[in-house]
Amino acid sequence: MSVVIRQPGVVLTDHLFQVPLDHGAPDGERIEVYAREVVAAGQEGRELPWLLYLQGGPGGRAARPVGRDSWLDRALKDYRVLLLDQRGTGRSTPATRQTLPSRGGAAAQAEYLAHFRADSIVRDAELIRRALLGDRGRWSLLGQSFGGFCTLTYLSLAPEGLREALITGGLAGLRSSAADVYRAAYPRVARKNAAHYARYPRDVEAVQRIAEHLLAAPAALPGGGTLTVEAFQALGLMLGTGSGSDLLHYLLEDAWIGGARGPELSDTFLAGVQAKLSFADGPLYAVLHEPIYGQRSVDPGPTGWAAERVRSEFPEFDAAKALADGSPVRLTGEMIYPWMFETDPSLRPLRETAELLAQRTDWPDLYAPEVLAANEVPMVAAVYHDDMYVDTADSLATADAVRAVRTWVTDEWEHDGLRVSDGRVLDRLIRMARGEA
């Protein structure tokens, strides 16, 4: 029986669905997928169109609403919203260091997780759509970041389920391999570093000082992790959001404290770093981050830790070299490296599993370019100028390759525009879809 909860301005209803682990074997093992229905208070009995929200990630659970917060306030004026905990996340059957050992060894875990990419998420959504709306019902789709990748897969596999598609920061390159993605990413991250140091010039020296210290003696994090210089550089992930540069600056302000034996990295700083770097609340983000780009028709080989391989082509991200040259130490971005499965306690038990996935070959295709070229589902997409996480050139090339797409290219917002714009990004997309903007 569904549980109904009332919050100020909204009514929340829990839904739990049984879906096949492998949609190619529908009579085999089943897992649970959770979704939360959100409707404006007083509108529960109305026949409202449904809006399915697909979260960024991979491996991120859907947002937990508190009333009509963030973009939900705008969405609830027109839709009944479904927030999906994509398989393996949130209240869906979890996939973490604690649960995966029940599958068996690393090989069994890797085989299991091979079913957690966008194609499986879309097929889950299709079963849920039919359960809630009936076979002939169609819903609108809002995809943020990785959710936009899933939207392109949805349009490839089951466009008949969609009445319209809205994408924010998530038009993936249809023919980009994992190596292509990171080869394009490092220069964008370098530009974000330059912008940060231009905004906060004193942070050049602050980062150099911390990096030099960590090269000599990696620090212990409060959660049991290890802060190496490479892990410290991974804080550059913050630079792709609207307020990320400012938050990074304030984190660096707290770096040092006077200890009994002289200056040392402060507990406040280390706790803040721990909060930013730990994958404890989303390990699938690390484990599946490169496999989400695997497509046999693009590259039949393994993704093979592409971010690590490609990094050698960009020596400016070598902290030791930068320190020796007296150059600014560049922080990295949305890259997953094999050493993370050593420094992060929540990932250590998954190291061999991640390695097997990194070496897996012949990943099924996620996009059907010929289907997308004939697409009839209206689609609008916000493309953020010089988005650090998703290559703008890839996004615009995909927009050219998919029929019935309108794009809004903007530098007013960064990648988190949907979340931080108080509904303005979503409102613009809705008006575009209706031909009002």
- Alpha carbons 65 and 75: distance in angstroms, whole number: 13
Query: From the candidates 415, 416, 421, 427, which is the catalytic residue?
Result: 415
Task: List Cα–Cα distances, 308 to 183, 188, 283, in angstroms.
Answer: 11, 16, 19
For residue 58, say if its preceding peptide bond is cis, omega within 30 degrees of 0. yes
The closest of 108, 329, 79 to 214, measured between CA atoms, is 329
∠ CA 244-91-128, nearest 5°, is 105
pLDDT value for 263 = 92
Tokens of 223: 């959660």
Is the Cβ–Cβ distance between 121 and 86 less than 8 Å? yes
Amino acid 287 reads V
What confidence category does residue 398 fall into, taking pLDDT thresholds of 50, 70 and 90? very high
pLDDT value for 1 = 56
Residues in the chain: 437
Query: From the candidates 70, 92, 145, 245, which is the catalytic residue?
Result: 145
Provide the 10 A C-beta neighbour count for residue 254. Answer: 16
Q: What is the pLDDT of residues 72-107, one digit of tens each?
A: 999 999 999 999 999 999 999 999 999 999 999 999
Is the Cβ–Cβ distance between 94 and 282 less than 8 Å? no
pTM for the whole structure: 0.96
Residue 235 has pLDDT above 60, yes or no: yes
pLDDT value for 221 = 97
pLDDT value for 259 = 85
Is the Cβ–Cβ distance between 351 and 229 less than 8 Å? no
CA 220 to chain centre: 27
Is the Cβ–Cβ distance between 185 and 335 less than 8 Å? yes
Q: Enumerate the domain spans of the chain.
A: 4-174+367-433, 178-358
Residue 145 has pLDDT above 80, yes or no: yes
* Strand 162-168 with 139-144, pairing: parallel
Spatial neighbors of 374 by CB under 8 A, at least 6 apart, are 403
Q: How far is the first Cα of the chain from the last one, in angstroms, to the nearest whole number?
A: 42
- Alpha carbons 276 and 174: distance in angstroms, whole number: 30
Mean pLDDT of 300-321: 97
Residue 262 has pLDDT above 90, yes or no: no
Amino acid 62 reads A
pLDDT value for 372 = 98
Residue bearing tokens 């209803």: 13
Say whether 292 sits in a helix, a strand or coil. Answer: helix
Amino acid 188 reads R
pLDDT value for 176 = 97
Is 196 among the residues known to form the active site? no
Q: What is the pLDDT of residues 49-81, one digit of tens each?
A: 999 999 999 999 999 999 999 999 999 999 999
Ordered DSSP codes for 186-249: HHHHHHHHHHHHHH-THHHHHHHHHHHHHHHSPEEPTTS-EE-HHHHHGGGGGGGSTTHHHHHH
Query: From the candidates 267, 362, 386, 422, which is the catalytic residue?
Result: 362
Say whether 314 sits in a helix, a strand or coil. Answer: coil
pLDDT value for 437 = 79
What values do phi and psi take at 394, rounded to 5? -60, -45
Is 415 among the residues known to form the active site? yes
Is 362 among the residues known to form the active site? yes
Mean pLDDT of 194-213: 98
Residue 112 has pLDDT above 60, yes or no: yes
- Alpha carbons 132 and 12: distance in angstroms, whole number: 15
Fold of the domain spanning 4-174+367-433: Rossmann fold (3.40.50)
Mean pLDDT of 337-365: 97
Mean pLDDT of 379-403: 97
